[in-house]
Structure 1
Amino acid sequence: MLDLLNSRPAVNGEERDTLGDPTEGRRWAREHGGEGCLAELALLRETRDALQDAVCGDTSPAVLTPLLESVHMAVCGNREKARRHYERTRC
């Protein structure tokens, strides 16, 4: 999460949005286990902005609940897919 927050740093007083640039955003997403498609970048920016607002106290941390549930479901889905693959391929 810290890497996600740091994807929009202030450099010399100017905000620099790594995820706002398609090339840099795709690279960042891939380095963090993603695919880097435009929809993923949009979700990453939305998540980062919500996280930033919660950290700064501008909004309730509850706004993160739907985003975190989506992450949990994706992780669980990937684990289940890996488990099925293992069961099919083991001797």
Structure 2
Amino acid sequence: MKNIKNTLAQLDDDLLAELLDAAQFALNDSRTVKRVAAELGVPAARVKALAYIAVQLSMEPDAVPEVSTMAELDALSAELAGV
């Protein structure tokens, strides 16, 4: 499988920004979060954590997001789930 970082790096900046904006707004809806979570077989809190990353990337595309590893994603998901 092609490295996703390489694939994303090949996208036009404007296209990537629009993609992240769409993800951010789509995942901001609680019904969508529940549908995505069910489709992926993950808790809703994990989808909310992914939306949080999309928001950060959308707002500050040149900055490394606060969550940049799977361990940090797990921690944020647990925090959002109230665990």
Q: TM-score surpassing 0.5?
A: no
| Higher RCO (Cα < 8 Å, 6 or more apart) | 2
Which of the two has higher C-alpha Rg?
Answer: 1
Instruction: Give the TM-score normalised by structure 1.
Output: 0.41
Query: Comparing both structures, which one devotes a greater share of its residues to strand?
Result: 1
